[in-house]
Structure 1
């Protein structure tokens, strides 16, 4: 695992197409040498969940050529992933609170309604998670992961 002091950034734009997921994951592979395999796998899963939610939910009724922008910033001890979409606003924190208040969701993840599992998994992986509406009409899912969690 290579540790670097200067943050590096990479950006990717893909169309709204579930088959673009392989391109997104291939692009994300460039960050693998700079973190543990476990953290990379967690981040890859969170990225996959975020991208899939954009395609299947946020862009469900939008044209296939609607862009999805992804940016990753990798610092010495953190990784931040941002995914921008053009869907309707969504209150992520309210949804997570609702899921957390459902006792079944904590005990039996297989009984969660559609859409709940991925959000809970992403929330569990992330050290910081937000989904905000921007002034340009897009939404931004921001996932921050500390590469070296405190002991």
Structure 2
């Protein structure tokens, strides 16, 4: 892993009535407790996510609530929720990669490397989504 790599994790809360602030605060509390117990690195508490740095591994934690079969809601940054379905996106990316001779994944890796080297000009997920939507021939 390079210094910009992280492990993205969604922590699913089953209580759909909780606010995004409530579940985000739960994640931050979890991170603070890990640090208290293990005395490791730091927690970046920029809402709606928490970043837990443990030695050379960075965990990017996002609190989510489950609203249906495979469908989740993630904090939108303004105290509300937005829907997402990571399994659908992963399946679409895999199908798209297969359709064009396995060019999507290396293109995504190259563009993410360029994005990091350029100072994070684009949101990583938005960049990946845009690449998957492009035509290749």
* TM-score bracket relative to the smaller structure: 0.3 to 0.5
TM-score, structure 2 as length reference? 0.34
Specify the structure having the higher radius of gyration (Cα): 2
TM-score, structure 1 as length reference? 0.32
Considering Cα pairs closer than 8 Å and 6+ residues apart, tell me whether 1 or 2 has the greater RCO. 1
